[in-house]
Structure 1
Protein backbone atom coordinates (compact mmCIF):
# COMPACT_ATOMS: atom_id res chain seq x y z
CA UNK A 1 0.00 0.00 0.00
CA UNK A 2 2.62 2.54 -1.11
CA UNK A 3 1.63 6.07 -0.24
CA UNK A 4 -1.11 4.99 2.14
CA UNK A 5 0.52 6.74 5.08
CA UNK A 6 0.07 10.08 3.34
CA UNK A 7 -3.53 9.17 2.55
CA UNK A 8 -4.14 8.25 6.21
CA UNK A 9 -2.70 11.58 7.31
CA UNK A 10 -5.00 13.39 4.87
CA UNK A 11 -8.01 11.52 6.27
CA UNK A 12 -6.98 12.36 9.84
CA UNK A 13 -6.54 16.06 9.12
CA UNK A 14 -9.73 16.30 7.12
CA UNK A 15 -11.60 14.38 9.81
CA UNK A 16 -10.45 16.82 12.48
CA UNK A 17 -11.60 19.77 10.40
CA UNK A 18 -14.96 18.15 9.72
CA UNK A 19 -15.43 17.64 13.45
CA UNK A 20 -14.89 21.36 14.04
CA UNK A 21 -17.65 22.12 11.56
CA UNK A 22 -19.94 19.59 13.18
CA UNK A 23 -20.43 17.77 9.89
CA UNK A 24 -18.84 14.51 10.95
CA UNK A 25 -21.16 14.33 13.97
CA UNK A 26 -24.21 14.53 11.73
CA UNK A 27 -22.96 11.71 9.50
CA UNK A 28 -22.00 9.46 12.41
CA UNK A 29 -25.33 10.03 14.14
CA UNK A 30 -27.20 9.15 10.95
CA UNK A 31 -25.22 5.91 10.67
CA UNK A 32 -26.16 4.96 14.26
CA UNK A 33 -29.85 5.62 13.64
CA UNK A 34 -29.89 3.64 10.40
CA UNK A 35 -27.89 0.80 11.98
CA UNK A 36 -30.65 0.35 14.55
CA UNK A 37 -33.41 0.57 11.95
CA UNK A 38 -31.74 -1.84 9.53
CA UNK A 39 -30.38 -4.22 12.19
CA UNK A 40 -33.60 -4.33 14.18
CA UNK A 41 -31.86 -4.08 17.55
CA UNK A 42 -30.65 -1.40 19.97
CA UNK A 43 -28.19 -3.89 21.48
CA UNK A 44 -24.68 -3.45 19.98
CA UNK A 45 -23.77 -7.02 20.94
CA UNK A 46 -26.58 -8.29 18.69
CA UNK A 47 -26.13 -5.68 15.96
CA UNK A 48 -22.62 -5.60 14.47
CA UNK A 49 -23.26 -2.54 12.32
CA UNK A 50 -24.54 -0.60 15.32
CA UNK A 51 -21.56 -1.63 17.42
CA UNK A 52 -19.20 -0.31 14.76
CA UNK A 53 -21.20 2.90 14.33
CA UNK A 54 -21.10 3.60 18.07
CA UNK A 55 -17.39 2.81 18.18
CA UNK A 56 -16.66 5.30 15.39
CA UNK A 57 -18.85 7.93 17.04
CA UNK A 58 -17.01 7.54 20.33
CA UNK A 59 -13.69 7.76 18.46
CA UNK A 60 -14.82 11.13 17.11
CA UNK A 61 -15.87 12.26 20.62
CA UNK A 62 -19.60 12.35 19.92
CA UNK A 63 -21.26 12.90 23.34
CA UNK A 64 -22.74 9.84 25.02
CA UNK A 65 -26.23 11.34 25.30
CA UNK A 66 -26.17 12.21 21.59
CA UNK A 67 -25.33 8.60 20.76
CA UNK A 68 -28.14 7.36 23.00
CA UNK A 69 -30.67 9.67 21.32
CA UNK A 70 -29.57 8.44 17.91
CA UNK A 71 -30.06 4.82 19.01
CA UNK A 72 -33.58 5.59 20.31
CA UNK A 73 -34.43 7.43 17.11
CA UNK A 74 -33.56 4.34 15.11
CA UNK A 75 -36.30 2.39 16.89
CA UNK A 76 -38.93 5.03 16.22
CA UNK A 77 -41.57 4.25 13.62
CA UNK A 78 -41.33 7.89 12.52
CA UNK A 79 -37.76 7.46 11.28
CA UNK A 80 -37.51 7.71 7.50
CA UNK A 81 -36.41 4.78 5.37
CA UNK A 82 -32.91 5.39 4.05
CA UNK A 83 -31.19 3.99 0.98
CA UNK A 84 -27.47 3.55 0.46
CA UNK A 85 -26.22 4.59 -2.96
CA UNK A 86 -22.95 5.59 -4.64
CA UNK A 87 -21.98 7.98 -7.41
CA UNK A 88 -18.79 7.98 -9.44
CA UNK A 89 -17.34 10.65 -11.64
CA UNK A 90 -14.47 12.99 -12.43
CA UNK A 91 -13.69 16.48 -11.27
CA UNK A 92 -11.57 18.90 -13.25
CA UNK A 93 -8.07 17.82 -14.28
CA UNK A 94 -9.10 14.17 -14.34
CA UNK A 95 -9.48 13.76 -10.57
CA UNK A 96 -11.55 10.67 -9.70
CA UNK A 97 -14.26 11.34 -7.10
CA UNK A 98 -16.27 8.53 -5.49
CA UNK A 99 -19.31 9.52 -3.40
CA UNK A 100 -21.13 7.33 -0.87
CA UNK A 101 -24.61 8.49 0.14
CA UNK A 102 -27.37 7.59 2.54
CA UNK A 103 -30.68 9.18 1.59
CA UNK A 104 -34.42 9.07 2.06
CA UNK A 105 -34.94 10.64 -1.39
CA UNK A 106 -32.89 9.19 -4.26
CA UNK A 107 -34.20 11.70 -6.79
CA UNK A 108 -33.11 14.66 -4.66
CA UNK A 109 -29.69 13.17 -4.01
CA UNK A 110 -28.79 12.37 -7.60
CA UNK A 111 -29.94 15.83 -8.68
CA UNK A 112 -27.79 17.48 -6.01
CA UNK A 113 -24.73 15.35 -6.78
CA UNK A 114 -25.04 15.82 -10.55
CA UNK A 115 -25.50 19.58 -10.13
CA UNK A 116 -22.33 19.79 -8.00
CA UNK A 117 -20.23 17.91 -10.56
CA UNK A 118 -21.55 20.10 -13.38
CA UNK A 119 -21.13 23.41 -11.54
CA UNK A 120 -17.47 22.80 -10.76
CA UNK A 121 -16.33 21.45 -14.11
CA UNK A 122 -16.75 17.75 -13.44
CA UNK A 123 -18.89 15.00 -14.90
CA UNK A 124 -20.92 12.25 -13.28
CA UNK A 125 -20.17 8.80 -14.69
CA UNK A 126 -21.75 5.38 -14.49
CA UNK A 127 -21.45 3.06 -11.49
CA UNK A 128 -18.35 0.93 -11.83
CA UNK A 129 -16.43 3.49 -13.87
CA UNK A 130 -13.90 4.07 -11.04
CA UNK A 131 -13.45 0.45 -9.96
CA UNK A 132 -9.95 0.36 -11.44
CA UNK A 133 -8.87 3.44 -9.45
CA UNK A 134 -10.14 2.67 -5.93
CA UNK A 135 -9.52 -0.50 -3.92
CA UNK A 136 -11.98 -1.34 -1.11
CA UNK A 137 -10.07 -2.04 2.07
CA UNK A 138 -10.67 -2.49 5.79
CA UNK A 139 -8.91 0.34 7.60
CA UNK A 140 -8.39 0.76 11.35
CA UNK A 141 -6.86 3.87 12.94
CA UNK A 142 -5.76 4.40 16.55
CA UNK A 143 -2.90 5.70 18.72
CA UNK A 144 -0.30 3.04 19.42
CA UNK A 145 -0.97 1.63 22.90
CA UNK A 146 1.68 2.12 25.55
CA UNK A 147 3.49 -0.98 26.71
CA UNK A 148 3.08 -3.01 23.52
CA UNK A 149 6.09 -4.29 21.62
CA UNK A 150 5.96 -2.87 18.09
CA UNK A 151 7.31 -5.94 16.29
CA UNK A 152 5.07 -8.30 18.25
CA UNK A 153 2.06 -6.12 17.54
CA UNK A 154 2.81 -6.02 13.81
CA UNK A 155 3.12 -9.82 13.71
CA UNK A 156 -0.20 -10.21 15.55
CA UNK A 157 -1.87 -8.00 12.96
CA UNK A 158 -0.30 -9.79 10.00
CA UNK A 159 -1.30 -13.18 11.42
CA UNK A 160 -4.88 -11.86 11.63
CA UNK A 161 -4.89 -10.86 7.96
CA UNK A 162 -3.45 -7.35 7.87
CA UNK A 163 -1.89 -6.41 4.54
CA UNK A 164 -0.15 -3.36 5.91
CA UNK A 165 0.63 -1.93 9.35
CA UNK A 166 1.93 1.64 9.42
CA UNK A 167 2.98 3.54 12.51
CA UNK A 168 3.46 7.24 11.89
CA UNK A 169 4.12 9.61 14.78
CA UNK A 170 2.85 6.95 17.20
CA UNK A 171 -0.43 6.63 15.26
CA UNK A 172 -1.37 3.28 13.73
CA UNK A 173 -3.09 2.52 10.44
CA UNK A 174 -3.92 -1.14 9.83
CA UNK A 175 -5.08 -2.05 6.34
CA UNK A 176 -6.60 -5.39 5.33
CA UNK A 177 -8.80 -7.00 2.73
CA UNK A 178 -12.53 -6.41 3.12
CA UNK A 179 -13.04 -10.07 4.02
CA UNK A 180 -10.61 -9.77 6.96
CA UNK A 181 -12.42 -6.90 8.70
CA UNK A 182 -13.92 -9.17 11.37
CA UNK A 183 -10.65 -10.97 12.06
CA UNK A 184 -8.77 -7.71 12.59
CA UNK A 185 -11.55 -6.35 14.80
CA UNK A 186 -11.49 -9.53 16.90
CA UNK A 187 -7.72 -9.37 17.36
CA UNK A 188 -7.88 -5.71 18.42
CA UNK A 189 -10.59 -6.64 20.94
CA UNK A 190 -8.30 -9.35 22.32
CA UNK A 191 -5.54 -6.75 22.70
CA UNK A 192 -7.97 -4.34 24.42
CA UNK A 193 -7.53 -1.81 21.63
CA UNK A 194 -10.51 0.33 20.64
CA UNK A 195 -9.89 1.98 17.25
CA UNK A 196 -10.76 5.62 16.74
CA UNK A 197 -12.13 4.57 13.36
CA UNK A 198 -12.82 1.14 11.90
CA UNK A 199 -14.36 1.21 8.46
CA UNK A 200 -14.34 0.11 4.86
CA UNK A 201 -12.56 2.76 2.82
CA UNK A 202 -11.88 3.25 -0.87
CA UNK A 203 -8.12 3.72 -1.24
CA UNK A 204 -6.83 5.17 -4.53
CA UNK A 205 -4.20 3.08 -6.29
CA UNK A 206 -3.28 5.88 -8.72
CA UNK A 207 -2.83 9.51 -7.68
CA UNK A 208 -3.11 12.80 -9.56
CA UNK A 209 -0.76 15.69 -8.72
CA UNK A 210 -2.18 19.20 -9.16
CA UNK A 211 -0.79 22.72 -8.94
CA UNK A 212 -2.40 24.91 -6.28
CA UNK A 213 -4.78 26.66 -8.67
CA UNK A 214 -6.10 23.39 -10.12
CA UNK A 215 -6.31 21.91 -6.63
CA UNK A 216 -8.44 24.75 -5.30
CA UNK A 217 -10.81 24.41 -8.24
CA UNK A 218 -11.42 20.69 -7.83
CA UNK A 219 -11.58 20.88 -4.05
CA UNK A 220 -14.54 23.23 -4.28
CA UNK A 221 -16.46 20.30 -5.76
CA UNK A 222 -15.29 17.93 -3.02
CA UNK A 223 -16.21 20.47 -0.34
CA UNK A 224 -19.73 20.96 -1.72
CA UNK A 225 -20.28 17.22 -1.88
CA UNK A 226 -19.07 16.70 1.70
CA UNK A 227 -21.39 19.44 2.93
CA UNK A 228 -24.43 17.68 1.44
CA UNK A 229 -26.45 16.05 4.22
CA UNK A 230 -27.12 12.98 2.05
CA UNK A 231 -23.40 12.36 1.49
CA UNK A 232 -21.62 10.16 4.00
CA UNK A 233 -18.13 9.92 2.47
CA UNK A 234 -16.23 11.36 -0.45
CA UNK A 235 -13.07 9.73 -1.79
CA UNK A 236 -10.64 11.24 -4.31
CA UNK A 237 -7.23 10.46 -5.75
CA UNK A 238 -5.45 13.80 -5.41
CA UNK A 239 -1.78 13.51 -4.42
CA UNK A 240 -1.99 16.41 -1.97
CA UNK A 241 1.10 18.39 -0.99
CA UNK A 242 1.65 19.63 2.55
CA UNK A 243 0.62 23.16 1.54
CA UNK A 244 -2.54 21.85 -0.12
CA UNK A 245 -3.43 19.95 3.04
CA UNK A 246 -3.22 23.23 4.90
CA UNK A 247 -5.59 24.84 2.39
CA UNK A 248 -8.43 22.47 3.26
Structure 2
Protein backbone atom coordinates (compact mmCIF):
# COMPACT_ATOMS: atom_id res chain seq x y z
CA UNK A 1 0.00 0.00 0.00
CA UNK A 2 1.02 3.54 -0.61
CA UNK A 3 -0.09 6.54 -2.55
CA UNK A 4 -2.29 9.32 -1.27
CA UNK A 5 -4.99 7.56 0.70
CA UNK A 6 -4.91 4.56 2.99
CA UNK A 7 -8.65 4.20 2.47
CA UNK A 8 -8.26 3.52 -1.24
CA UNK A 9 -6.35 0.38 -0.29
CA UNK A 10 -8.91 -0.69 2.31
CA UNK A 11 -11.77 -0.26 -0.15
CA UNK A 12 -9.91 -2.35 -2.71
CA UNK A 13 -9.44 -5.08 -0.12
CA UNK A 14 -13.09 -4.95 0.94
CA UNK A 15 -14.12 -5.41 -2.68
CA UNK A 16 -11.64 -8.22 -3.21
CA UNK A 17 -12.49 -11.67 -4.48
CA UNK A 18 -12.81 -14.59 -2.08
CA UNK A 19 -9.29 -15.78 -2.91
CA UNK A 20 -7.89 -12.33 -2.17
CA UNK A 21 -9.82 -12.23 1.11
CA UNK A 22 -8.25 -15.55 2.06
CA UNK A 23 -4.81 -14.02 1.49
CA UNK A 24 -5.72 -11.03 3.70
CA UNK A 25 -6.78 -13.46 6.45
CA UNK A 26 -3.45 -15.29 6.08
CA UNK A 27 -1.41 -12.08 6.37
CA UNK A 28 -3.31 -10.82 9.42
CA UNK A 29 -3.03 -14.30 10.95
CA UNK A 30 0.76 -14.19 10.67
CA UNK A 31 0.85 -10.76 12.29
CA UNK A 32 -1.34 -11.99 15.14
CA UNK A 33 0.84 -15.07 15.64
CA UNK A 34 3.91 -12.86 16.05
CA UNK A 35 2.34 -10.39 18.50
CA UNK A 36 0.78 -13.17 20.60
CA UNK A 37 4.18 -14.84 20.95
CA UNK A 38 5.73 -11.47 21.83
CA UNK A 39 3.10 -10.08 24.20
CA UNK A 40 0.73 -12.88 25.18
CA UNK A 41 -2.79 -13.90 24.13
CA UNK A 42 -4.79 -11.46 26.28
CA UNK A 43 -5.74 -8.35 24.28
CA UNK A 44 -6.37 -6.48 27.55
CA UNK A 45 -2.64 -6.71 28.26
CA UNK A 46 -1.36 -6.72 24.67
CA UNK A 47 -2.18 -3.46 22.87
CA UNK A 48 -0.66 -4.67 19.58
CA UNK A 49 -2.96 -7.69 19.63
CA UNK A 50 -5.92 -5.47 20.49
CA UNK A 51 -5.21 -3.26 17.47
CA UNK A 52 -4.76 -6.32 15.23
CA UNK A 53 -8.09 -7.78 16.33
CA UNK A 54 -9.74 -4.48 15.33
CA UNK A 55 -7.90 -4.64 11.98
CA UNK A 56 -9.02 -8.23 11.46
CA UNK A 57 -12.65 -7.33 12.15
CA UNK A 58 -12.45 -4.33 9.79
CA UNK A 59 -11.31 -6.78 7.11
CA UNK A 60 -14.22 -9.10 7.90
CA UNK A 61 -12.13 -11.89 9.41
CA UNK A 62 -14.63 -14.13 11.27
CA UNK A 63 -14.40 -14.12 15.08
CA UNK A 64 -13.88 -17.90 15.10
CA UNK A 65 -10.80 -17.47 12.91
CA UNK A 66 -9.42 -14.78 15.22
CA UNK A 67 -9.94 -16.93 18.33
CA UNK A 68 -8.39 -19.97 16.66
CA UNK A 69 -5.27 -18.03 15.58
CA UNK A 70 -4.76 -16.64 19.10
CA UNK A 71 -5.20 -20.02 20.80
CA UNK A 72 -2.89 -21.73 18.33
CA UNK A 73 -0.17 -19.10 18.75
CA UNK A 74 -0.46 -19.19 22.54
CA UNK A 75 -0.21 -22.98 22.71
CA UNK A 76 1.97 -25.57 21.06
CA UNK A 77 -0.05 -25.77 17.85
CA UNK A 78 1.85 -23.05 15.97
CA UNK A 79 5.26 -24.41 15.04
CA UNK A 80 6.18 -21.70 12.55
CA UNK A 81 8.52 -18.98 13.74
CA UNK A 82 8.02 -15.98 11.50
CA UNK A 83 10.87 -13.57 11.02
CA UNK A 84 10.49 -9.95 9.96
CA UNK A 85 12.35 -9.07 6.75
CA UNK A 86 12.42 -5.74 4.88
CA UNK A 87 13.45 -5.46 1.23
CA UNK A 88 14.13 -2.21 -0.63
CA UNK A 89 14.48 -1.54 -4.30
CA UNK A 90 13.37 0.34 -7.37
CA UNK A 91 10.48 -0.31 -9.69
CA UNK A 92 10.25 0.90 -13.31
CA UNK A 93 11.61 4.42 -13.90
CA UNK A 94 13.14 4.54 -10.43
CA UNK A 95 9.99 4.28 -8.30
CA UNK A 96 11.10 3.61 -4.70
CA UNK A 97 9.63 0.45 -3.16
CA UNK A 98 9.77 -0.98 0.39
CA UNK A 99 8.48 -4.50 1.04
CA UNK A 100 7.83 -5.71 4.61
CA UNK A 101 7.58 -9.47 5.09
CA UNK A 102 6.92 -12.08 7.75
CA UNK A 103 8.49 -15.34 6.66
CA UNK A 104 9.38 -18.80 7.93
CA UNK A 105 11.82 -19.28 5.02
CA UNK A 106 14.09 -16.33 4.24
CA UNK A 107 15.64 -17.94 1.16
CA UNK A 108 12.26 -18.58 -0.44
CA UNK A 109 11.01 -15.07 0.29
CA UNK A 110 14.17 -13.32 -0.88
CA UNK A 111 14.11 -15.34 -4.11
CA UNK A 112 10.47 -14.48 -4.75
CA UNK A 113 10.93 -10.76 -4.11
CA UNK A 114 14.02 -10.56 -6.30
CA UNK A 115 12.20 -12.41 -9.09
CA UNK A 116 9.30 -9.92 -9.06
CA UNK A 117 11.61 -6.92 -9.25
CA UNK A 118 13.66 -8.46 -12.07
CA UNK A 119 10.60 -9.58 -14.04
CA UNK A 120 8.80 -6.25 -13.97
CA UNK A 121 11.51 -3.78 -14.83
CA UNK A 122 12.93 -3.02 -11.41
CA UNK A 123 15.87 -4.05 -9.29
CA UNK A 124 16.21 -5.10 -5.68
CA UNK A 125 18.64 -2.87 -3.79
CA UNK A 126 20.54 -2.93 -0.52
CA UNK A 127 19.13 -2.10 2.89
CA UNK A 128 18.68 1.67 3.23
CA UNK A 129 18.76 2.41 -0.50
CA UNK A 130 15.25 3.95 -0.50
CA UNK A 131 14.07 4.01 3.13
CA UNK A 132 15.59 7.48 3.62
CA UNK A 133 12.88 8.76 1.24
CA UNK A 134 10.13 7.69 3.66
CA UNK A 135 9.01 8.70 7.12
CA UNK A 136 6.86 6.66 9.49
CA UNK A 137 3.49 8.04 10.53
CA UNK A 138 0.39 6.76 12.25
CA UNK A 139 -2.78 6.58 10.15
CA UNK A 140 -6.23 5.94 11.58
CA UNK A 141 -9.31 5.54 9.40
CA UNK A 142 -12.74 6.17 10.92
CA UNK A 143 -16.17 5.60 9.51
CA UNK A 144 -17.79 9.02 9.00
CA UNK A 145 -20.71 9.02 11.43
CA UNK A 146 -22.27 12.14 9.95
CA UNK A 147 -21.00 14.55 12.59
CA UNK A 148 -20.23 18.08 11.39
CA UNK A 149 -16.64 19.00 10.63
CA UNK A 150 -16.21 21.19 13.71
CA UNK A 151 -17.24 18.31 15.99
CA UNK A 152 -14.94 15.87 14.18
CA UNK A 153 -12.03 18.31 14.44
CA UNK A 154 -12.69 18.86 18.15
CA UNK A 155 -12.80 15.12 18.85
CA UNK A 156 -9.69 14.37 16.76
CA UNK A 157 -7.66 17.10 18.41
CA UNK A 158 -8.83 16.06 21.87
CA UNK A 159 -7.75 12.50 21.13
CA UNK A 160 -4.26 13.76 20.16
CA UNK A 161 -4.31 13.63 16.36
CA UNK A 162 -1.90 15.79 14.36
CA UNK A 163 -4.27 16.30 11.42
CA UNK A 164 -7.39 14.90 9.79
CA UNK A 165 -9.25 14.95 6.48
CA UNK A 166 -12.79 13.95 5.53
CA UNK A 167 -13.39 12.08 2.31
CA UNK A 168 -17.00 11.07 1.71
CA UNK A 169 -17.66 8.08 3.97
CA UNK A 170 -14.41 8.09 5.98
CA UNK A 171 -12.25 10.28 8.20
CA UNK A 172 -8.49 9.87 7.74
CA UNK A 173 -6.34 10.87 10.72
CA UNK A 174 -2.56 11.25 10.88
CA UNK A 175 -0.57 11.12 14.10
CA UNK A 176 2.76 10.15 15.63
CA UNK A 177 3.41 6.39 15.34
CA UNK A 178 3.64 6.08 19.12
CA UNK A 179 0.16 7.63 19.52
CA UNK A 180 -1.79 5.26 17.25
CA UNK A 181 -3.05 3.01 20.03
CA UNK A 182 -4.05 5.71 22.51
CA UNK A 183 -5.84 7.76 19.82
CA UNK A 184 -7.57 4.62 18.59
CA UNK A 185 -8.80 3.92 22.13
CA UNK A 186 -9.91 7.53 22.70
CA UNK A 187 -11.90 7.75 19.47
CA UNK A 188 -13.49 4.35 20.04
CA UNK A 189 -14.60 5.55 23.48
CA UNK A 190 -16.14 8.62 21.80
CA UNK A 191 -18.30 6.31 19.68
CA UNK A 192 -16.38 6.32 16.41
CA UNK A 193 -15.99 3.10 14.43
CA UNK A 194 -12.30 2.58 13.71
CA UNK A 195 -11.74 0.84 10.36
CA UNK A 196 -7.95 0.80 10.50
CA UNK A 197 -5.25 1.95 12.94
CA UNK A 198 -1.68 1.34 11.79
CA UNK A 199 1.73 2.83 11.25
CA UNK A 200 2.81 3.25 7.64
CA UNK A 201 5.67 4.66 5.63
CA UNK A 202 4.95 7.88 3.75
CA UNK A 203 7.23 9.11 0.93
CA UNK A 204 8.70 12.61 1.07
CA UNK A 205 8.22 12.98 -2.69
CA UNK A 206 6.45 11.11 -5.47
CA UNK A 207 7.50 9.78 -8.86
CA UNK A 208 5.10 10.11 -11.79
CA UNK A 209 5.00 7.52 -14.57
CA UNK A 210 3.92 8.58 -18.05
CA UNK A 211 5.16 5.63 -20.13
CA UNK A 212 2.36 3.07 -20.58
CA UNK A 213 4.75 0.12 -20.40
CA UNK A 214 6.28 1.41 -17.16
CA UNK A 215 2.79 1.86 -15.70
CA UNK A 216 1.83 -1.68 -16.73
CA UNK A 217 4.95 -3.17 -15.20
CA UNK A 218 4.60 -1.15 -11.98
CA UNK A 219 1.03 -2.37 -11.56
CA UNK A 220 2.16 -5.95 -12.15
CA UNK A 221 5.03 -5.59 -9.65
CA UNK A 222 2.64 -4.34 -6.95
CA UNK A 223 0.06 -7.04 -7.74
CA UNK A 224 2.62 -9.84 -7.46
CA UNK A 225 4.12 -8.45 -4.26
CA UNK A 226 0.74 -8.02 -2.57
CA UNK A 227 -0.33 -11.50 -3.74
CA UNK A 228 2.60 -13.16 -1.96
CA UNK A 229 1.63 -14.64 1.42
CA UNK A 230 4.98 -13.65 2.96
CA UNK A 231 4.49 -9.96 2.12
CA UNK A 232 2.73 -7.93 4.80
CA UNK A 233 3.05 -4.37 3.48
CA UNK A 234 4.24 -2.67 0.31
CA UNK A 235 5.10 1.03 0.30
CA UNK A 236 6.13 3.06 -2.74
CA UNK A 237 6.38 6.62 -4.01
CA UNK A 238 4.55 6.14 -7.31
CA UNK A 239 2.20 9.05 -7.89
CA UNK A 240 -0.64 6.76 -8.87
CA UNK A 241 -3.44 8.27 -10.95
CA UNK A 242 -6.72 8.31 -9.08
CA UNK A 243 -9.31 5.87 -10.36
CA UNK A 244 -12.69 7.40 -11.23
CA UNK A 245 -15.54 6.66 -8.82
CA UNK A 246 -17.99 4.09 -10.08
CA UNK A 247 -21.54 5.28 -9.49
Compute the TM-score of the two structures, normalised by the length of structure 2: 0.88
| Residue of structure 1 equivalent to 2:186 | 187
How far residue 234 of structure 1 moved from its aligned partner, in angstroms, is 0.8
| Residue of structure 1 equivalent to 2:195 | 196
| Residue of structure 2 equivalent to 1:142 | 142
How far residue 10 of structure 1 moved from its aligned partner, in angstroms, is 3.0
| Residue of structure 2 equivalent to 1:232 | 232
| Residue of structure 2 equivalent to 1:127 | 127
Cα deviation, 1:209-235, whole Å, max 9, x if unaligned, reads: 223432111111111111111111111
Q: 1:67 to 1:183 in 2, by over 3 A?
A: closer
Q: Give the aligned CA root-mean-square deviation in angstroms.
A: 2.3
SS for the counterpart of 1:84 is strand
SS for the counterpart of 2:192 is coil
Q: 1:169 to 1:188 in 2, by over 3 A?
A: same
| Residue of structure 1 equivalent to 2:41 | 42
How far residue 171 of structure 1 moved from its aligned partner, in angstroms, is 0.8
| Residue of structure 1 equivalent to 2:58 | 59
Output the CA distance in 2 between the equivalents of 1:73 and 1:27.
Answer: 15
| Residue of structure 2 equivalent to 1:207 | 206
| Residue of structure 1 equivalent to 2:26 | 26
Compute the TM-score of the two structures, normalised by the length of structure 1: 0.88
| Number of aligned residues | 241
How far residue 192 of structure 1 moved from its aligned partner, in angstroms, is 2.6
Gaps of 5+ in 1: none
| Residue of structure 1 equivalent to 2:14 | 16
How far residue 153 of structure 1 moved from its aligned partner, in angstroms, is 2.4
Cα deviation, 1:68-91, whole Å, max 9, x if unaligned, reads: 111112123242111112111101
Q: 1:203 to 1:14 in 2, by over 3 A?
A: farther
Gaps of 5+ in 2: none
Output the CA distance in 2 between the equivalents of 1:36 and 1:138.
Answer: 22
How far residue 5 of structure 1 moved from its aligned partner, in angstroms, is 8.8
Output the CA distance in 2 between the equivalents of 1:244 and 1:188.
Answer: 31
Cα deviation, 1:82-119, whole Å, max 9, x if unaligned, reads: 11121111011111111010111222211221122112
| Residue of structure 2 equivalent to 1:7 | 5
Contact preservation (8 Å) 1:35, 1:74: no
Output the CA distance in 2 between the equivalents of 1:129 and 1:244.
Answer: 34
| Residue of structure 2 equivalent to 1:115 | 115
Cα deviation, 1:107-156, whole Å, max 9, x if unaligned, reads: 2211221122112221111222223322211111121124x442132133
